Amino acid sequence: MAYLASRSATKEIINKYSFAFQKKYGQNFLIDSNVLTHIIIDAGIRENDFVLEIGPGIGTMTQYLCETAKQVMAVEIDRMLIPILEETLSAYDNVEVINEDALKLDIAKIVEEKNGGEPIKVVANLPYYITTPIIMGLLESGAPIKSITIMVQKEVAHRMQSGPGSKEYGALSLAVQYYANAEIMMDVSAECFMPRPKVDSTVIKLTRYDEPPIDVKDEKMLFKIIRASFNQRRKTLANGLKNAPTLNFTKEEIERAIENIGKPLTIRGEALTLEEFAQLTNALI
Ligand code: SAM
């Protein structure tokens, strides 16, 4: 099977199988070999790596992964793509395709069973409609994951890297920055996909920290506080926390904690850094 990374090869295979693109699954297939080579280099894939690919599509990136990694597991939700993948990946004996919803995967179990518990790398050209739950699921799974190299919508990539003062700053930024170092690797033009997406795309690499960069006594509480602060973005931090149904601190406890970390009671949650959210959590519990 020849490489798929071109408009003509992609067209040929989808015509052969009369494949109809499913908008609901965010199907925009890569057709640019330079972009694919770049992603494999950015992801730092080596010959002893186990790679999990989310959403292989017709297998365009999977082919590159199979040529570079030791073993690839590709999880695709659309069953119409499974017979296509059987053909396009038939030259490789180091790939396993699973027809499943990536959001339902037990990553820790996969890593244990397929890679003896050794850290894996995740690479994906993500379906944009589920970018956040996929990333959060991977980061919060606690599974040994070295890095996550993903194509996402440009704004989402910037949101992951942003800090206080930016309107893109939010719960996703803080979660990503708690678990990983985020590096933007490249912007990718809509021309490099079939069909062309309506948004700009960016490849971002999240390299998981061995230890979180901040000291917090209760990680779950930290994220409850972060979510509560951003759920009511226009309110003060004190009101956001007081009104949150997931928290039950009194007004006095909240005000004392905000003062303890040296902030005014008028401050909004969006003005706090990750470290300050950790200090606030430690002051509240
Ligand atoms: N990797 C291919 C490429 O780069 O050309 C396809 C990328 S396309 C943007 C996203 C792929 O993810 C599609 O094949 C789509 O069917 C699949 N997908 C969408 N939702 C999914 C889910 N919940 N679990 C697994 N795969 C999913």
Ligand 1 in reach of 30 Cβ (< 6 A): yes
* 4, 27, 149: residue to mutate for ligand 1 pocket, most atoms within 8 A of CB: 27
Q: Cβ atoms within 10 A of the Cβ of 285, count? A: 14
How far is Cα 21 from Cα 180, in angstroms, rounded to an integer? 33
- CB of 25 within 8 A of CB of 95? no
Q: What is the pLDDT of residue 1?
A: 60
Q: What is the arithmetic mean of pLDDT over 273-283?
A: 97
pLDDT, tens digit (0-9, with 9 covering 90-100), for 151-178: 999 999 999 999 998 989 999 999 999 9
| Interstrand relation of 193-194 and 29-30 (parallel, antiparallel or unpaired) | antiparallel
Ligand 1 in reach of 77 Cβ (< 6 A): yes
Q: What is the arithmetic mean of pLDDT over 184-189?
A: 98
Of 74-78, 82-86, 98-102, 226-230, the one with minimum mean pLDDT is 226-230
How far is Cα 71 from Cα 190, in angstroms, rounded to an integer? 30
Q: Which atom of ligand 1 is nearest to the CA of 62?
A: 1
Q: What is the arithmetic mean of pLDDT over 128-142?
A: 92
* 4, 22, 53, 77: residue to mutate for ligand 1 pocket, most atoms within 8 A of CB: 77
Q: What is the pLDDT of residue 234?
A: 83
pLDDT of 2 higher than 80? no
How far is Cα 171 from Cα 224, in angstroms, rounded to an integer? 10
H or E element at residue 183:
strand 180-188
Ligand 1 in reach of 26 Cβ (< 6 A): yes
Q: What is the pLDDT of residue 213?
A: 94
Q: Which atom of ligand 1 is nearest to the CA of 56?
A: 1
pLDDT, tens digit (0-9, with 9 covering 90-100), for 91-125: 999 999 999 999 999 999 999 999 999 999 999 99
Ligand 1 in reach of 122 Cβ (< 6 A): no
How far is Cα 242 from Cα 228, in angstroms, rounded to an integer? 9
Q: Whose CA is nearest to atom 10 of ligand 1?
A: 127
CA of 31 to the centre of ligand 1 (A): 14
Cα of 28 vs its chain's centroid, Å:
17
pLDDT, tens digit (0-9, with 9 covering 90-100), for 28-65: 999 999 999 999 999 999 999 999 999 999 999 999 99
Q: What is the pLDDT of residue 126?
A: 95
Q: How far apart are the first and last CA of the chain?
A: 59
CA of 196 to the centre of ligand 1 (A): 15
Burial class (CB within 10 angstroms; exposed 0-12, middle 13-18, buried 19+) of 128: middle
Q: What is the pLDDT of residue 6?
A: 96
- The mean of the pLDDT values for the chain is 96
